[in-house]
Amino acid sequence: QQQQQQQDQVPVSRVLIAEDSPMNARLIQYLLQSTTNQISHIEHAINGEVAVELYKASVNRSEPFHLILMDCQMPVMDGFDATKKIREFELEKNSNIHVKISALSLGSQNSSPPICESAGMDFYIEKPVKKPVLTRLLHFASFPSVNGIQVFLE
């Protein structure tokens, strides 16, 4: 069984950070790079609209992201609408692609795990992002999807 799990595991090497705060984005990027050496590519989107476009472009060039860290509250398009648009795109593509999306939340009622799950997110972490939480998230994101949202708290 452990051998089957290892075969199904896909290391997270391509990450998109959708975060409107440049300081938070830089901190998350630093934490990602200091957590693992498997990440080869990180991009930053300043809002949900840019995140959707970057994700579509990555799929169209056959280099999809493995994980999107999605801030829930952003200008132009929030993380919930961006996630819904990404899931619609994946359905339109009619393929087996399903990028793992983790909510980045301040822990408010407006971005609770059930709300994030209904938008199509796979994981939920709270800001400020902590390295141990990010480490666990990267581990779980490397396995096939599970049913229901996975919540990672300190």
What predicted TM-score, i.e. pTM, was given to this entire model? 0.91
Question: What are the pLDDT digits (tens) for 82-120?
Answer: 999 999 999 998 778 899 999 998 876 677 899 999 999
Using CA of residue 25, residue 36, residue 67, residue 50, what is the dihedral sign? positive
Question: What are the pLDDT digits (tens) for 114-147?
Answer: 999 999 999 999 999 999 999 999 988 988 876 7
Inter-helix orientation angle 131-141/22-35, to 10°? 70
Q: What percent of the chain has pLDDT over 70?
A: 91
